[in-house]
Amino acid sequence: MFPDVRLRRLRKGKIRNLVRETTLSVDDLVQPIFVNETIDSAVEIPSMPGIYNIPLSEVVNEAKEIAELGIPAVIIFGVPAFKDAEGSSAYGETDVVQEAVRRIKAELGDELVVITDVCMCEYTSHGHCGIVDFETKEILNDPTLEVIGKIAVSHAKAGADMVAPSCMMDGMVEAIRHALDTNGFENIPIMSYAAKYHSCFYGPFREAAESGYSFGDRSTYQMDPANSDEAIREVTLDVAEGADILIVKPALPYLDIVYRVKVDYGMPTAAYNVSGEYSMIKAAAANGWLDEEKAIYESLISIKRAGADIIITYFAKDAARMLK
């Protein structure tokens, strides 16, 4: 006890660095990329300063910049020219994500891990993450599984290193694992959005990905923010179905979930530092209310401290420059 124990002794100069319990590395980071086949030049997203919709013609340059910063991975989101109720532009051989993956891998090979988001919301005319029964306005679980299996296989055929299902349909990991395995892609890992909450923090993303919904909301398939034990049940099922990496989304409001998932399962755990988390810091910094670099670092180190091995973040490029 005090005065024999003085914890401030270890908070001086370089001693502070020696006893630091958590470190943030560029190797922890994944940079999202929005690839939009309806544009000819990069367009900044108004609600996400510094983040752009990238045309296919520029996606390789964007990927090169990310790789040169030492960031090991990207996750690709597509914005198609055509949408319909079935999301048919999500799984064609020459559709936007497939073409982006093919171009990046042809240029960079193994220099950059290319992860693809497997969902339907960007590709459907109604903006929901699955097949819809328009009479009942129900998002149909089982018919959606067949489609997301096709999407995952099409991404693997294009050269994706990893697929990341985000639709929160029951059985999605099992459906994708079966589809990949039966098509010769048994070595492609699945990074599952295992605990994805129905969150207001996705707002800027929906602008970026043009994935807003035309009716209702996504609360019948994404999780209630009030629930913690349910997240563990979701993760348990995904692990049993063959998930290789587990994602908690969003990150900062759900650090308790990140911690529980890492402690309970001891598996590679990712947290998605989502668009709203990004935009809040950017807006506060623009108004002079926060020191932007310090806020970025404190946010990311807290996610790492909670147990995340991987952080998907729009700050990845900024953080990589800071860490250098």
> Is 206 annotated as ligand-binding?
yes
Q: Taking Cα atoms as reference points, which of 170, 115, 180, 117 lies closest to residue 145?
A: 170
Contact 98, 158 (CB under 8 A): yes
Helix (H) / strand (E) element for 273: namely: strand 269-273
Q: Rounded to an integer, what distance in angstroms lies between the CA atom of residue 224 and that of residue 211?
A: 20
Q: Rounded to an integer, what distance in angstroms lies between the CA atom of residue 45 and that of residue 230?
A: 34
Q: Is the dihedral of CA 225, 151, 41, 31 positive or negative?
A: positive
Q: Taking Cα atoms as reference points, which of 62, 67, 85 lies closest to residue 26?
A: 67
- Annotated catalytic, 137? no
> Which residues, in sequence order, are bridge partners of residue 308?
none
- Annotated catalytic, 196? yes
DSSP letter string, 119-138: -STTTBSS--SSEEETTTTE
Q: Taking Cα atoms as reference points, which of 194, 193, 302 lies closest to residue 253?
A: 302
Identify the active-site residue in 105, 249, 262, 282.
249
Q: Rounded to an integer, what distance in angstroms lies between the CA atom of residue 89 and that of residue 78?
A: 10
> Is 44 annotated as ligand-binding?
no
DSSP letter string, 306-323: HT-SEEEETTHHHHHHHH
> Is 167 annotated as ligand-binding?
no
> Is 275 annotated as ligand-binding?
yes
End-to-end Cα spacing for the chain: 40
> Is 200 annotated as ligand-binding?
no
Contact 220, 139 (CB under 8 A): yes
> Is 174 annotated as ligand-binding?
no
Identify the active-site residue in 150, 196, 262, 317.
196
User: Which residue positions form the known binding site for Mg(2+)?
Assistant: 234
User: Which residue positions form the known binding site?
Assistant: 119, 121, 129, 206, 218, 234, 275, 314
User: Which residue positions form the known binding site for Zn(2+)?
Assistant: 119, 121, 129
User: Which residue positions form the known binding site for 5-aminolevulinate?
Assistant: 206, 218, 275, 314
Q: Which residues are catalytic?
A: 196, 249
